[in-house]
Amino acid sequence: MQKPDAIASMQGLCMNVMYLIPSGKVRPLVPAPFAVSDVLPGFTIGGLYAARYATGDNTFKSEFGVLPAYVKYGERRGFFMSCFCQDETASCAGRGPWGLDKTPGVFSWDVSERAISLDVTTPGGPLAGIRLRPIVNRTPFGTTFPILCVKGESVVFFKNYLASNIGFATSSVHIPPESPLAGFPLGLKLVSTFWDASNVVVKAPELAHERALKGAEKALGSPIGKGM
> Could you read off the pLDDT tens digit of each residue along the chain, which spans 228 residues?
444 445 554 568 889 999 999 999 999 999 888 999 999 999 999 999 999 987 777 778 899 999 999 999 988 899 998 888 888 655 443 344 444 567 889 999 998 888 999 999 988 889 999 999 999 887 777 778 888 888 777 888 888 777 667 889 999 999 999 998 998 988 899 999 998 876 665 655 666 655 444 444 333 333 333 333
Helix/strand/coil for 115: coil
pLDDT for 87:
86
The set of residues, in sequence order, having a beta carbon less than 8 Å from that of 206 and lying 6+ positions away, is 156, 157, 158
What is the helix (H) or strand (E) element at residue 25, kind and residue range? helix 23-26
- Note whether 46 and 67 are within 8 A (CB): yes
- Note whether 77 and 146 are within 8 A (CB): yes
Which amino acid makes up residue 142?
G
pLDDT for 35:
94
Q: Return the closest-CA partner of residue 130 out of 75, 37, 192, 219.
A: 192
Q: What is the DSSP letter of 11?
A: S
Largest CA distance in the chain: 51
Dist. CA 142–CA 124, nearest whole Å: 37
Dist. CA 227–CA 210, nearest whole Å: 21
pLDDT for 106:
93
What is the helix (H) or strand (E) element at residue 8, kind and residue range? helix 5-8
Helix/strand/coil for 23: helix
pLDDT for 198:
67
Which amino acid makes up residue 202?
V
pLDDT for 108:
95
CA torsion 168-132-37-211 (nearest 10°) is -130
Dist. CA 50–CA 147, nearest whole Å: 14
pTM confidence score: 0.79
- Note whether 156 and 98 are within 8 A (CB): yes
Dist. CA 129–CA 136, nearest whole Å: 22
